[in-house]
């Protein structure tokens, strides 16, 4: 039975704290009740379940190496974060209550290879930091930013976050890492393993097995640097914002976009979103209704009217040479017109013109976080995001099933279908009202039902909140859970005392060796 909390014996914690203070200085130790609050997950259904013992904030690799050695000696579970803004998935909080947060947000070095369009980043570099850095150098390369860009570039890529430009699948743009292992060893992956190589950020694989993805959504090491490819500033950006009237327009829309994406006419991954996306950010629920339960069709119609939205909307964008974009635009226009959209709004930009500040131009944003305030009062959100094939009928079935569950559990439906190159991710947000105990009681059974529904169709989540990591890992069950067993074996080999992020992605909670240390 995996442990969900672990109380470090006080004398062991005190000894470790003395050693930690000698490594990072007492001013970089945060163990007050207030610190424990601020590193907890305010969006969790129950914040207290993931309360850390405290936090330490090193700023060099040598300090991190020394910290893991102390942690191993005293059996202290560490939870590494980059900037800890992974809201909806746990924020800065650990799976295991009582862990010590390893806060890397002070490590903010950026190395920029302008010629090759790559950066080598430390974990504390935020999207705003990197944007400011590139802007000060003429924005010759664009970022890809997630909907909430408050966090770090590396932390987001390590949790497989996504953005909206052709470089939007962030984890696939990682190239070469530096990692501290649980025994304190420092490793460089890919070409970085070859001392002094100028190709660390250029060729992902190196020689032999390639390990970068081993440190993604994992607890097998602490990433202290990562390389990332950036998109060269395009000559032109062209595209269209489309609205579609009916729920059943989703299927044909997916079937129309998927081949364009596979063929490469579209190089960016569009996201199809429903009517709540603007209302949840720009208004609160009380402005629309005082009725509990899922929003009625009348309210949905009022929201759509006010924001001139369809049931679904999507934005398509083309990046690169203007002549190519023009031709590609004509193809998109003709394919989209066949679907009879409610509206089609053209956008275009040329190098030198003022840039719109949106995710399409890789501008960091935080306003989408406003959706946590949809219910007013103490808010939050949690996601349910299964991976689907790019099939209109599969997506329609998934949508119908999920929408019905939202109504059954009395929740407001906010969903999107986000394209990848070959897959779709159906991101469903559950907007929380933490002041409504009745609603909060429904959240856990709701998510468990959604996970079971998806599993019954062979779908699993791509990312999940701390509370559901074991559950989601258990759905990856081929051959008696052989993948989970492989993960556990690798974890035990690299981190026998379970020091690094026990429980992350359902891998390795506190081992008996940790608990039973004499």
Shortest distance in whole angstroms from residue 97 CB to ligand ADP:
15
- Total residues at interface with ligand ADP (CB under 6 A): 22
Geometric angle at alpha carbon 368, from 454 and 103, rounded to 5°: 85
What DSSP assignment string belongs to 281-292? HHS-GGGT----
194 with 176: CB under 8 angstroms? Answer: no
Q: Which of 118, 147, 443 is nearest to 273 (CA)?
A: 147
Nearer to ligand ADP, 405 or 504 (CB): 504
Residue 171 tokens read as 């984890």
Q: Which stretch binds ligand ADP (CB under 6 A): 77-85, 315-323, 391-399, 509-517?
A: 77-85
Nearer to ligand ADP, 3 or 101 (CB): 101
Number of residues written out for the chain: 518
* 463 belongs to the catalytic site: yes
Of 89, 112, 329, 406, the catalytic one is 89
Upper half-sphere CA count for residue 511 (Cβ side, 13 Å): 19
Can residue 65 be called a binding residue for ligand ADP (CB under 6 A)? Answer: no
Shortest distance in whole angstroms from residue 316 CB to ligand ADP:
27
- The residues with which 417 forms a beta bridge, in sequence order, are 272, 426
Binding letters toward ligand ADP, positions 216-245, x by CB under 6 A = ------xx----------------------
Shortest distance in whole angstroms from residue 154 CB to ligand ADP:
6
Can residue 83 be called a binding residue for ligand ADP (CB under 6 A)? Answer: yes
Residue 116: alpha-carbon gap to chain centroid: 26
Can residue 364 be called a binding residue for ligand ADP (CB under 6 A)? Answer: no
Shortest distance in whole angstroms from residue 504 CB to ligand ADP:
5
**Alpha carbon separation from 411 to 79, 286, 294, 400, 440 (Å, rounded):** 32, 15, 5, 15, 11
Shortest distance in whole angstroms from residue 84 CB to ligand ADP:
4
Nearer to ligand ADP, 52 or 206 (CB): 52
* 89 belongs to the catalytic site: yes
Beta-strand pair 236-244/231-232? unpaired
Q: Which of 58, 51, 57, 99 is nearest to 75 (CA)?
A: 99
Q: Which stretch binds ligand ADP (CB under 6 A): 64-72, 78-86, 325-333, 481-489?
A: 78-86
Residue 204 tokens read as 């992902």
Can residue 86 be called a binding residue for ligand ADP (CB under 6 A)? Answer: yes
Binding letters toward ligand ADP, positions 94-113, x by CB under 6 A = ----------x---------
> From CA 471, how far away is CA 486, in angstroms rounded?
17
Nearer to ligand ADP, 309 or 427 (CB): 427
Can residue 363 be called a binding residue for ligand ADP (CB under 6 A)? Answer: no
* 261 belongs to the catalytic site: no
226 with 306: CB under 8 angstroms? Answer: no
**Alpha carbon separation from 141 to 26, 134, 146, 229, 384 (Å, rounded):** 39, 7, 17, 9, 33
Shortest distance in whole angstroms from residue 151 CB to ligand ADP:
2
Can residue 85 be called a binding residue for ligand ADP (CB under 6 A)? Answer: yes
Q: Which stretch binds ligand ADP (CB under 6 A): 81-89, 281-289, 373-381, 467-475?
A: 81-89
> From CA 283, how far away is CA 217, in angstroms rounded?
34
- Which residues within the stretch 121-160 sit at the binding site for ligand ADP (CB under 6 A)? 123, 151-152, 154-156, 158-159
Residue 219 tokens read as 């607890």
Can residue 470 be called a binding residue for ligand ADP (CB under 6 A)? Answer: no
Residue 11: alpha-carbon gap to chain centroid: 37
Q: Which residues sit at the interface with ligand ADP, rule CB under 6 A?
A: 80-86, 90, 92, 104, 123, 151-152, 154-156, 158-159, 222-223, 501, 504
Catalytic site residues? 89, 462-463
């Amino acid at each position: 039975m995996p442990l969900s909390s672990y109380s470090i014996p006080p004398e062991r914690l005190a000894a470790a704290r003395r050693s930690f203070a000698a490594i990072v200085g007492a001013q970089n130790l945060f163990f007050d009740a207030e610190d424990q609050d601020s590193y907890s997950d305010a969006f969790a259904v129950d914040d207290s379940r993931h309360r850390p013992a405290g936090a330490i904030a090193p700023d060099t690799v040598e300090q991190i190496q020394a910290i893991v050695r102390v942690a191993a000696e005293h059996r202290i579970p560490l939870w590494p974060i980059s900037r800890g803004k992974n809201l909806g998935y746990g924020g800065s909080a650990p799976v295991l209550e009582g862990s010590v947060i390893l806060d890397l947000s002070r490590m903010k070095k950026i190395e920029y290879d302008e010629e090759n369009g790559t950066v080598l980043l430390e974990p504390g570099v935020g999207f705003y930091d990197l944007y400011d850095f590139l802007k000060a150098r003429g924005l010759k390369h664009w970022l890809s930013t997630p909907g909430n860009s408050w966090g770090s570039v590396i932390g987001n890529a390590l949790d497989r976050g996504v953005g909206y430009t052709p470089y939007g699948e962030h984890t696939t743009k990682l190239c070469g890492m530096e990692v501290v292992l649980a025994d304190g060893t420092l490793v460089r992956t890919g070409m970085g393993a070859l001392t002094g190589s100028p190709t660390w950020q250029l060729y992902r694989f190196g020689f032999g097995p390639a390990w970068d993805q081993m440190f993604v959504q994992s607890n097998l090491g602490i990433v202290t640097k990562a390389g990332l490819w950036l998109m060269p500033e395009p000559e032109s950006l062209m595209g269209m914002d489309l609205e579609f009237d009916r729920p059943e327009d989703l299927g044909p829309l997916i079937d129309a976009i998927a081949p364009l994406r596979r063929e490469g006419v579209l190089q960016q991954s569009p996201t199809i979103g429903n009517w709540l996306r603007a209302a949840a950010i720009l208004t609160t629920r009380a402005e629309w209704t005082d009725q509990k339960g899922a929003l009625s069709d009348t309210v949905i119609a009022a929201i759509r009217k006010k924001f001139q939205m369809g049931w679904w909307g999507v934005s398509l964008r083309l990046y690169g040479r203007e002549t190519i974009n023009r031709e590609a635009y004509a193809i998109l226009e003709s394919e989209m017109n066949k679907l009879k959209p409610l509206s089609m709004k053209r956008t275009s930009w040329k190098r030198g013109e003022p840039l719109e500040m949106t995710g399409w131009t890789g501008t960091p944003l935080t306003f989408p976080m406003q959706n946590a305030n949809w219910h007013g009062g103490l808010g939050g959100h949690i996601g349910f995001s299964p991976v689907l094939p790019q099939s209109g009928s599969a997506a329609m079935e998934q949508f119908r099933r999920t929408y019905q569950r939202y109504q059954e559990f009395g929740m407001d439906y906010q969903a999107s279908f986000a394209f990848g190159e070959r897959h779709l991710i159906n991101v469903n947000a559950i907007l929380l009202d933490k002041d409504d105990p009745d609603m909060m009681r429904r959240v856990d059974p709701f998510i468990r039902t959604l996970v079971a529904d998806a599993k019954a169709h062979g779908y699993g989540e791509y990312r999940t909140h701390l509370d559901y990591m074991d559950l989601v890992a258990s759905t990856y069950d081929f051959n008696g859970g052989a993948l989970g067993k492989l993960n556990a074996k690798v974890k035990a080999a690299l981190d026998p005392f379970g020091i690094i992020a026990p429980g992350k992605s359902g891998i390795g909670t506190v081992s008996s060796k940790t608990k039973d240390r004499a």
